A and B are shown apart, each in its own frame.
Chain A
Amino acid sequence: MLVWGGIAGLGAAAFGVLALYRGESINAAWLLTAALCTYAVCYRFYSRFLATRVFGLDDRRATPAERLDNGRDFVPTNRWVLFGHHFAAIAGPGPLVGPVLAAQFGFLPGPLWLVIGVVLGGAVQDFTILFCSLRRDGKSLGQMAKDEVNATGGMAGMLAVLFIIVILLAVVALVLVNALKASPWGLFTIACTIPIALLMGWWMKQWRPGSVGEASLAGAVLLVLALVGGGYVAGHPGLGGAFTQSGVSLTWMVIGYGFLASVLPVWMLLAPRDYLSTFLKITTILVLAVAILIVLPQLRMPALTVFTELGEGPVFAGKVFPFAFITIACGAISGFHSLVASGTTPKMIARESDARIIGYGAMLMESFVGVMAMIAACILDPGVYFAMNTTPAALAQASQLLQQAGFVVSPAAMQQLAARMGEQTLVARSGGAPSFAVGMAQIFSSLTQVLGGRAFEALWYHFAIMFEALFILTTIDAGTRVGRFMLQELLGHVWPRFGQTSWYPSVLLTSAGMAAGWGYFLYQGVTDPLGGVNSLWPLFGISNQLLGAVALSVGTTILIKMGRARFAWVTLAPLAWLVTVTMTAGWEKVFSPDPKLGFLAQAAALAGSAAPNAGRLIFNAHLDAGIALLFMGVVAVLVVTSVWEWWLVLSRRKPPVVHEAPYVETGYATGD
């Protein structure tokens, strides 16, 4: 207990320094100490409390992986292996991009939410849903909502998933387009990943079936060659021009790619890209963590900026509450994780107690990725950060505030930075990915210099872009395909033939429908004069948190039905917070009188405009308002139906029937 008291004291001291220090810069070590100590203490005590007292995990109870072991999807798996698998499935571009965008409020609000949000909310949600699914033979969140809440809850859950996929794909594709526009090096490298993935697919399916290791190794070597070759292409007069594309043309390419990836067989493109990106993701994150711990860079962003209170930030509009909590979803609490926690993972858990490290622990790891992204953004000069993340229109609106705060940078300095990174320009490269890449390049080049090598800043910058782009494309591949299946299922109720997932007219039409759905929002974002991040990222945050509210409502219902109502606060507290944040942010995004913030005010401000695209912008603002209201409506329906169900059970008007799989004693205790 003395040791744990010391760790807790150290974490509290680090938080104190972060909160009170007001110098020019502060070392990232304080942020890392505060985060790591909090994770350690909460994992040791809070997750143990959840495991033993709240859920009552029982290792004598055989898990679905043991009872239904078929050597394919139900496979008992070592806890550390499954930890890696689960972490790779939950970690995507979200924890890298969200914290970078939220850095406009300063270095303090983002990490506070990342750390406090994860230990009391995000990790609890993941652990709860994993536990619930584990006790129900690996059932999905939608199925559990239907079984344990009611059919309305189940339908709300399914709608939430479909909408979140559309907005998610649009927003991650926007990040990708903003990172690759006017970047021949980046575009060449990412374009090369498509033939590389196709080659890998052919290798492990046709040429040498099952040779995933060989194909992945070949893919990794080719990826490095593509990265290095990108530098040559960018400097070549003819090739450089061919790979320099505008945001709009990249938009059409990404939409076409999403459609093709959804239509092609999984082994051809989706699976090999997924293997490659998973290897790269885990390796890079580990190396980045080690590099930050060795370099311990200085954070140059102040603790709080003027935009926390004023709400007129040039990166996105809105005050720190509620928008910091919407901007950072993945890393603190992400509803999307509940799909993974009720997907493949519960079918692979060997013992119930393993759910603690996998459900709670992997989410802490993702939060740490978010903290690293925040560090990467905050080591940049604030002037550089705002110049990169702001569109010219937004920069003009916020220029006075930026000058007053001293967040200015000369055009010459920006040009010099772009040249060091091997880019034509870094001004107005919004979306978060380029800022993260510059920060990561600076950390990695500091590391290579510490180790006695050269800086290689341009190479590291494009490595970081490739690292982010690879798993954004994986998200687009998989998301379009999953959305296609959902559309086929829905349309199958109207015309049964459409429900056949192998009927090609249905495959083509639903894939096109899905790609057109997210593609429309992507196009809207790319052509938005204020930058699509300002409108799309909050919508994504709201939809993701909405799914979190769905998951926590289902978790609370199950706890109450299990006779654990006295512990229901563990899920009720984060649920109440999420509902408050989602509703407040949604209300402000729709009804705020500020045209930079409110969709309806934006439409009204454009009403008299003679601009040629005013009509389209007005339509988009109304559409975004409708989507936000729809999200809020779905949250309201689900919360009300859940509360009704709790009241029925607690007032004994309805028997507390849980739909758990029957208890079976494990066979592992007698020797494996």
Chain B
Amino acid sequence: MSRPDMPQGTEREGGRGKGEGAQPLPTRVTRVLRRIIGAPDYAAYVEHCRRAGRPPLSEREYLADCFERKGQVARCC
């Protein structure tokens, strides 16, 4: 099912993705919690855009986009 040479999960939650140095523990914990509750994480997004070589949205635009998408998702029963 999986190749032995593959990492078994992305390591970007810990801030070690794609050439990043290790992030401090509080930052990593905060990122994990944000991702679990589905909260916006602008710093992670900016890092992503920098790696991808794309200009990021402004923080306000990014937050507006995140909240817009959140409003379209039903919570389960």
Contacts and interface: CB of A to CB of B under 8 A. Distances in A.
Contacts of B62: 72
Q: 7 closest Cβ contacts across the A-B interface? A: A71-B48, A266-B71, A59-B2, A94-B77, A84-B36, A266-B67, A212-B39
A77 interface: yes
Contacts of B59: 209-210
A91 interface: yes
Contact of A209 (B8, B34, B63): B63
Contacts of B45: 71-72
Contacts of A58: 1
> B14, B33, B35, B74: which has the most chain A beta carbons within 10 Å?
B74
Interface residues of A, number: 75
Given A58-B1, A339-B76, A668-B6, A270 B71 contact: yes
A389 to B, nearest CB: 19
Interface stretch (A303-311, A470-478, A514-522): A470-478
Interface string A48-90: 0001100001111000000001111101111111101100111
Given A78-B13, A266-B67, A672-B17, A336 B76 contact: yes
B77 A669 contact: no
A350 B10 contact: yes
B7 interface: yes
A205 interface: yes
A241 to B, nearest CB: 34
A551 B14 CA distance: 35
A92 B75 contact: yes
> B39, B41, B75: which has the most chain A beta carbons within 10 Å?
B75
Contacts of A7: none
Interface string B46-77: 00110010001001101101111111111111
B76 A337 contact: yes
A270 B76 contact: no
Contact of B65 (A72, A80, A90, A213): A72
A245 to B, nearest CB: 25
Contact of A59 (B1, B12, B30): B1
B33 A213 contact: yes
A524 B20 CA distance: 58
Interface stretch (A107-115, A273-281, A648-656): A273-281
Given A94-B77, A168-B77, A478-B73, A267 B67 contact: yes
Contacts of A329: 77
A20 B35 CA distance: 46
A396 B71 CA distance: 45
A93 interface: yes
A639 interface: no
8 contacts: A59-B6, A78-B11, A82-B35, A85-B37, A89-B75, A94-B77, A278-B38, A668-B6
